[in-house]
Amino acid sequence: MTDLLHVKVVKVGIADMNIIKPPHSIRTSGLGSCVGLVIYDEKKGIAGLAHVMLPDSSLAKSGQINVAKFADTAVKELVHLLVKEGARMPFLKAKLAGGAQMFQFASGGDLMRIGPRNVDAVKKELLDLRIQVVAEDVGGNSGRTIEFKLNDCLLNIRTVNKGTKSI
């Protein structure tokens, strides 16, 4: 039986990432237009979470970039960290949540669709790496908090004014 005193929730901030092994869980909050991406290897018992803010690192100002902030760099870096810790590429799976359209703009320009663009960018990177998306809860216009537990590989999603569900 797991000693509950030694189970901790690893918190991931905005534009951040981390990995866990059993019996811990991993959580991020403040997912509006941001995407919370969980990648895991169920058999090896390892998972990682990235809180992605923007779709493309070309949007970064010059200088050192935060790789966790952008979909194109965060997905690759999270996979690198997981493989370094023993995960196997062919067995990686992904779950994602977030990507809401938090504000409505009269112009409707593509640049203001940050949430949907984040989701598309994350999915493109996962497709390029041949990582299957097994579940998602994206879009809408409400913020989310997510927590992933390796013991059942469920992603628990608490959506503002909509309750909790697991995928």
* Burial 131-154, CB ≥16 within 10 A → b, else e: bebebbbbebeebbbbbbbbeebb
Catalytic residue among 12, 19, 31, 34: 34
CA 6 and chain centroid, separation: 24
- Name the residue among 48, 42, 45, 50 with its Cα closest to residue 2: 45
Structure tokens at 116: 């949907």
34 is catalytic: yes
Q: How far apart are CA 109 and CA 54, in angstroms?
A: 16
Which residues belong to the active site? 34
